[in-house]
Structures are given as structure tokens and as C-alpha cells.
Amino acid sequence: MKRDIILSGVGGQGILSIANVIGKAALNDGLSIKQAEVHGMSQRGGDVQSNLRISSKPIASDLIPRGATDVVISLEPMEALRYLPWLSPEGWVITNTTPFVNISNYPDMQAVNNELNSLPRVVTIDVDAIAKQAGSARAANMVLLGAAAPFLGIEAEKLEQGIRDIFGRKGDEVVNMNLAAFRAGQEYAKKIAAK
């Protein structure tokens, strides 16, 4: 088993929490993991990105070469486009559809959506709306993780245990909120995959 994953978004969206949950689930599954993070101006809405490499064999480098990423998971649609050069020909893009407009020259959303929708393997999801329906807008990142779950090569139960492990110190209410968001995202991805 081998998965190269790029997680991207904007500071404060919870990208590193997604990376921590996936990493914990992979370790609990006996897999090797390497992670590299780029923290932009996260306090000001800057780019945040994480390379996550998971394998059943030892991993030499924590950086993913261009054209080798299996899954790009993005909480911001323009940030998803930024990492397309790293996507493998068989790779998937799982992205939020709601932009985080923090620059004056943010591209036209119709152009961004057209580019995303032209990809052969993409799941676009309004994680903010689904998180609100699931009970907490703050758990939008876990909705996105749920939507990406079918493409990660890690059983959903292991990812749910990763959520329990990462958020457990915050109490049962926070754990249950994040699990509900994860499951809502997973259901959405199953409907897309069934089409």
C-alpha cells in the first residue's frame, strides 16, 4: 500500500488537523508515514500545505515529486488548482467549493469551477454547508476528510479512531461533532462515486 497525499488550504481552516487524523490512523494501521508541512501566513489566511506519504514499506523522502500525488485534498478551491502539477494522471482531487477570498485579484469562481470540473477524477463538495447540517460549521475540515476517505486506502473505522485519538482530549462532545461531520462527508462521497 502506498499513498501520496497533498493537503492544502488557508491558515485556520484545519488542514493540519486532517493531516494529524490521517497520520494517526496510518500509524494505528501499522503503516509508515512521512509528513512535510508548509505554514504560510496562517494568522493572515496564507497558504497552508502538507505532504503526507503513507506506505506499507519504508519511505525515503517526505516530499512528493511532481506528477506523483494520489490525492489532493483542499479546503479552498483555488488552492486545489495550485497543486495540480503534483497530481498523478490517475489521481483524485477532493475540494471544498466555497472560496476563501483573501486577495483582491482572486480568480473568477466560474473559471475556477470550470477548471476543477474538467478534471477526470474530482469530488467537489460544499463542506461548509454540510458541516452546518451535521451540527457544527467548525467541523468543515472533517467533512472534507470524510469525502476523501474512500480514496485514502485506510479503512474508515481507522480514520474514525484517529478522530477519537486527536480530539479526545477536548471531550466527547467535540469528538462526536467531528465524527458526525466525517460521516456526512463520507456519505456525500459515496453518492458521487455511485454516479
Give the tens place of pLDDT for each residue, 154-192: 999 999 999 999 999 999 999 999 999 999 999 988 877
Can you tell me the mean pLDDT for 105-134?
92
- DSSP letter for 58, please: -
Percentage of residues in the chain with pLDDT exceeding 70?
Answer: 94
Task: Identify the burial level of 103 via C-beta atoms within 10 angstroms of its C-beta, where 0-12 means exposed, 13-18 middle and 19 or more buried.
Answer: exposed
For residues 65 and 12, the answer to whether their CB atoms sit within 8 Å is no
Task: Identify the burial level of 38 via C-beta atoms within 10 angstroms of its C-beta, where 0-12 means exposed, 13-18 middle and 19 or more buried.
Answer: exposed
Question: Predicted confidence band at 89 (pLDDT cuts at 50, 70, 90)?
Answer: very high
For residues 35 and 53, the answer to whether their CB atoms sit within 8 Å is yes
Percentage of residues in the chain with pLDDT exceeding 90?
Answer: 73
Among the listed residues 136, 129, 134, 127, the one whose alpha carbon sits nearest the alpha carbon of residue 73: 127
Write down all domains in the chain, each with its CATH number in brackets: 2-194 (3.40.920.10)
Q: pTM to 2 decimals?
A: 0.91
Give the tens place of pLDDT for each residue, 9-30: 887 788 889 999 999 999 999 9
